[in-house]
Amino acid sequence: MPRDATQNDLAPPVASSATSQVNPHGIPGATPCSTPYATPGRHILADFRGVDAGLLADVAALERELVTAAQAAGAQVLSAHFHHFGAGAGVTGVVMLSESHISVHSWPEHQFAALDIFMCGAARPEQALERLRAALAPLTVRVTIVDRG
């Protein structure tokens, strides 16, 4: 069940005596996830409002920040694909991880970014969120955390 969390109210992992084993997406070379959560993964949805419009239209900067956030979370980056929709328009991008993915959809004209951080295993999605919060400097953040599986 999704739950809304405030800016600094990120839920800790759910205690469990069992450890789930998951091979994310069946990607060759990807290591299976052994997760500390009671479910196979943690999915963080974040709405960032009040982000600098120039940053939200900068495809290279957004890709760099999402890759850096994945690394800060201890995730293994497999690939990245980003698309800029033209002058003054937004960016859609995804960083594929051995542990799942991080994605962004930006609307510079609204100073808004929708972020999706899904990770399993020892990766720490909360760390990715904090790294992106520091890098994008939103005025407000709305977070929903879903334990998947």
Q: Which domains does the chain carry?
A: 48-148 (3.60.90.10)
- Which residues are marked as active site? 100, 105, 120
- The two beta strands, 91-97 and 77-84, are antiparallel
Q: Which stretches in the chain have pLDDT values below 70?
A: 1-39
Mind listing the pLDDT tens digit for each residue in 101-130? Answer: 999 999 999 999 999 999 999 999 999 999
- State residue 34's pLDDT score: 55
Residue found under tokens 């850096």: 68
Q: What whole-number distance in Å separates Cα of residue 123 and Cα of residue 67?
A: 13
Q: What whole-number distance in Å separates Cα of residue 132 and Cα of residue 65?
A: 7
